[in-house]
Structure 1
Amino acid sequence: MKFSSLYRSPELNPKDLKALTIPIFNPINVYGRCFHLSWLGFFVCFLSWFAFPPLLHGSLKKDLNLTAVDIANDNICGLSATLIARFVLGPLCDKFGPRWVMAGTLIVGAIPTAFCPLVTNVSGLHAIRFFIGFLGGSFVPCQMWTTVFFDKTIVGTANALAGGWGNAGGGVAFFMMPALVSSLLGDGYSLHRSWGLAFTVGPFVILVFVAALVILFGQDCPEGKWSKRKDILGIGIDNTLVTVVSVRSDQKTSKRIVSQVTPGDSASAENVAVDELIMADEIIEDPTLLGALKTSFSYRTMLTALCYLCTFGGELAIEAILSGLYSQKSPKWSQSLAGDWGSMMGLLNIITRPLGGVISDLLYRTFKTTKVKKFWMIFCGFMQGVFLLWIGLVTSLSVHGTIGALAAMSVFMEMGNGANFSTVYFINKKHPGIVAGTTGAFGNLGGIVFSLVFRYNVTDKGTSDYGRSFYIIGAICMGLNALVCFIPIREDKYVSAHHEAEGDVKV
């Protein structure tokens, strides 16, 4: 990618009008605009979803008299709703398109966020965490949105950038929420009133604002409305005529040239029919219940799902306990200081997750096979497990040594997340939303499983045995990533689409 491609209108693949570059510095262009709305929607959802963990070991623990078991159970409640949401939102993205699913997720998640000040006991906290957990499903429309706008040669980079920047919302929550609570306490509000208002003046207002941006300025797909996504190929126009589409793309315009021919009249018509068949395999179809179940639990979907269970599942569970871990390692640390250092893992996503996708795309373009994407994804997950095993076994690490070790582990873990959703697109092109939703849901399943590991490693004294939890999670990650090596990936040879964008090329 040239630097100029970051601000110029992108070249397009003439077969499907997907962009061959990412116009990051051109939010006026529809491709740049939708790219930014995808990660921004995801970002604010994660900001609200992760707003509780930095307060659990401080303000909430003190105000609601929470025990270590209560905190662990609360984290599981937040993850359980997201597990359900991701399974549901995947098929909805295939049916209605990612833009409206993103807007709906923001609005639905904003409602329980507004009711946070009403929480007065542990049961109420668990309930509100469960319903706010719906926001964690926003990852699915985020990744689906970039998938439908960007070509397969760069979709890994686009998905990883959007996913990494959006995921950073969880990191921002770790220093924003304690700061808001401290500010409100300084203004004379009670402890309960301070943390309750922090959710209203922060996440709630932002969620509603971004939902409005998505509705007003977003676009469903390159063709316009989601219902027109099949128009480029003329699928279903009639049984005798095949629509041939050509595209010329330059810096200012994208022009389609459409003609119709009767199949079988000539050799050229036969070639058109072949191209039509090839591209029809990549059209996103409306899902059926049986088809959704078959796609969700196919062995190829399990390739990305099980890997994501380790990487994103590990990230969710570990981020939720960071403030408690640092406070245990250094009891003199304040809630704000522990939260500031706890934000590190989430903020690393700005660089590490995109890096995983960029490397995946680079390897794909170099070796011209999706197999290299698969093994890069597995390597990252396995190395994550190695680092967690080491951190868990070396219990003598100081708080600063633990921060450094977790930072090194996070590089592989978060690169694995980026590598994963660089691979998801190639699993099933007819139902990418279902694959994305299932993969994302397995990430939350991993978060629940690993949170249970932390939950059942609470000592008789009421403190958490973090070291034992880490090496158990590390062993699970190493084992699962070794196992999925035997799952084959759908082979999709790399072919550059740049030459197709240089002139009128028939699809």
Structure 2
Amino acid sequence: MSSTQFNLFSFTGKMKILHMSWLAFFISFVVWFNHAPLMLVIAENLKLSQSEIKTILILNVALTIPARIAIGILVDKFGPKRTYSTLLAIGSIPCFMFAAADDFQQLALARFLMGFVGAGFVIGIRMVGEWFPARQLGIAEGIYGGWGNFGSAAAAIALPTLALAFGGDNGWRYAIACTGVMALAYSVVYFFSVSDTPKGSTYFKPKKAGAMEVTSIWDLFFYILMTIPLYAALTLLTWKLSPAGMKLLSDGSVIGIYIGIWLLFLYNLYKIVHVNEEHLTQPIEEIHKYKFKQVAILDLAYLVTFGSELAVVSMLPLFFHETFKQTGITTVQAGLLASSFAFMNLVARPGGGWLSDKYGRKLSLSICVIGCAVGYAVMSQINSQWSIVLAFAVTFLCSFFVQAGCGAVYAMVPLIKRRMTGQIAGMVGAYGNVGGVTFLTVLSFVTPEVFFLTIAATAVVVAIAVQFIEEPSGHMAEVMEDGSVAMIEVV
């Protein structure tokens, strides 16, 4: 490491890598969510129906689940420098496609492809994990995740103003195209400004690409079991667009997509077995073993933290407006109140990471998930009899535990197995999207009160699961190119 100090205002060594990486994540989220604040203008300009608008919003997240898995594999194989630069450059293409679209079909295709940009988060987790020691990893990953996540809020603030500055019917096009230019330019800057590891360090890669290595036959079955919900979530998304849901796809199209999803699952199953069959037939030394339950529990923790954040941020403005409309609250004011949930990312994610570094990763994650359960249980009781100030305070406090929980999850991800950090981060991140899809589907059938209670109950179950996670300790072993073993400190 270039320095043992953590100086946030430094722009050299590992701190330069942190700042360059959170900015890459920030830009990827600006691009990914560049449509949201301009959607009403786009809909008016291109004469979109309400069902078409909803389709665009769903398509924006559809590809992100498999993309996070794929990006995790790519970053472990090719390194974060090349992977992040390539993702930003390629991500600018659907951005320009969306800006130039003249009808719903073109918009839908561009938005579907844009979902791949949402996987950029995974890359920086591996990059930051390479540069920071375990005792600083939580706060470093928290800053990376929290400040980068703010890109969606920055898009909501800046892009309408930019569109107005350009003016005319095409102002939204120029504003969105500007985000594509920004991503393309930064892909070059990032490539020439960072390196995958500190000088003299080794970038460890998996022996085979395509799936995670596990170290026991039972973990192989566990891995396969934990893969199923990823494809189930894609199936659920397809159902929402089917004649039984929003009636936006024909029966034939839906059946074709279902078949495609589960054929992809079978291919994934083949890769999992292929990657693991050879080494599982031979004895594995104890120092090279890790427990897949660590990954599985973090999957569930991110499902309930980031997954609930995705769902709640989507429904909170309307919930506040409907609950307090008799007080005269406007849609703008309701939106501002609801935005506090996302704004907490700036401090709460780093806070969760810092708590993990300071007081232990298992304890911090336990407190955050329990805080989520209590927070959502209290939010379920919000009604028109409450004061707006009290409702805001409860929401603000709940959001702190949610975002801090996200930080606590990724404070532990890079400490499981270094050469597979990208793949582990990808799977955990994909579970966050699974949670968002699942909770929003629940919301479509129940009242907000039951919706919040459902998340609270899920958090209770996850809090119990977290008690079975093992605190990272000692060292993890990786094999050097010359066959020698490197021991990497995890405390």
Query: Per the shorter chain, which TM-score range?
Result: 0.7 to 0.9
2:33 maps to which of 37, 50, 58:
50
Deviations 1:316-369 (A, max 9, x none): 2222334444554577877766655554333321111100000110013xxxxx
Alignment partners' CA distance in 1, 2:318 and 2:41? 12
Q: In the alignment, is the contact (CA less than 8 A) between 2:317 and 2:338 conserved in 1?
A: yes
Alignment partners' CA distance in 1, 2:98 and 2:323? 30
Q: In the alignment, is the contact (CA less than 8 A) between 1:305 and 1:438 conserved in 2?
A: yes
Q: In the alignment, is the contact (CA less than 8 A) between 2:65 and 2:430 conserved in 1?
A: yes
| Structure 2 unmatched runs, 5+ | 215-219, 227-291, 477-486
Alignment partners' CA distance in 2, 1:393 and 1:120? 45
How high is the sequence identity, in percent, across the aligned residues?
Answer: 25
**Structure 1 residue 399: Cα displacement:** 5.6
Structure 1 vs Structure 2 CA RMSD: 3.1
**Structure 1 residue 98: Cα displacement:** 1.1
Deviations 1:80-101 (A, max 9, x none): 2111111011121111111111
Could you say which residue in structure 2 is the equivalent of 1:361? 357
Alignment of 1:164-243 (within 5 A): 164-184=146-166, 187=167, 189-190=168-169, 193-201=170-178, 203-223=179-199, 229=202
Alignment partners' CA distance in 1, 2:105 and 2:87? 24
Alignment of 1:103-502 (within 5 A): 103-184=85-166, 187=167, 189-190=168-169, 193-201=170-178, 203-223=179-199, 229=202, 283-289=204-210, 291-292=212-213, 294=220, 297=226, 298-326=292-320, 328=322, 340-364=336-360, 373-396=361-384, 397=386, 401-457=390-446, 465-486=447-468, 488-489=469-470, 491-493=472-474
Closer, same or farther in 2 for the Cα pair 1:210/1:361, shift >3 Å? same
**Structure 1 residue 481: Cα displacement:** 2.8
Q: In the alignment, is the contact (CA less than 8 A) between 1:54 and 1:178 conserved in 2?
A: yes
Normalized per residue, the structure richer in helix is 2
2:10 maps to which of 26, 29, 47:
26
Alignment partners' CA distance in 1, 2:159 and 2:332? 9
Closer, same or farther in 2 for the Cα pair 1:179/1:326, shift >3 Å? farther
What TM-score, normalized to structure 1?
0.71
**Structure 1 residue 182: Cα displacement:** 4.2
Alignment partners' CA distance in 2, 1:83 and 1:55? 24
Q: In the alignment, is the contact (CA less than 8 A) between 1:98 and 1:141 conserved in 2?
A: yes
Which amino acid counterpart does residue 470 of structure 2 have in structure 1? I
Number of residue pairs aligned between Structure 1 and Structure 2: 401
Deviations 1:240-299 (A, max 9, x none): xxxxxxxxxxxxxxxxxxxxxxxxxxxxxxxxxxxxxxxxxxx45344335457578532
Could you say which residue in structure 2 is the equivalent of 1:6? none
Alignment partners' CA distance in 1, 2:94 and 2:329? 31
Which amino acid counterpart does residue 6 of structure 2 have in structure 1? I
Of structures 1 and 2, the one with the larger relative CO (CA 8 A, separation 6+) is: 1
Alignment partners' CA distance in 2, 1:327 and 1:182? 26
Q: In the alignment, is the contact (CA less than 8 A) between 2:369 and 2:405 conserved in 1?
A: yes
Alignment partners' CA distance in 2, 1:398 and 1:52? 33
Alignment partners' CA distance in 1, 2:387 and 2:158? 26
| Structure 1 unmatched runs, 5+ | 1-11, 13-17, 231-282, 365-372, 458-464, 496-505
**Secondary structure of 1:431's aligned partner:** helix
Q: Greater CA deviation, 203-212 or 355-364?
A: 203-212
What TM-score, normalized to structure 2?
0.73
Closer, same or farther in 2 for the Cα pair 1:435/1:352, shift >3 Å? same
Alignment partners' CA distance in 1, 2:15 and 2:80? 16
Deviations 1:145-170 (A, max 9, x none): 11000111111111111111111112
Which amino acid counterpart does residue 424 of structure 1 have in structure 2? V
**Structure 1 residue 106: Cα displacement:** 0.9
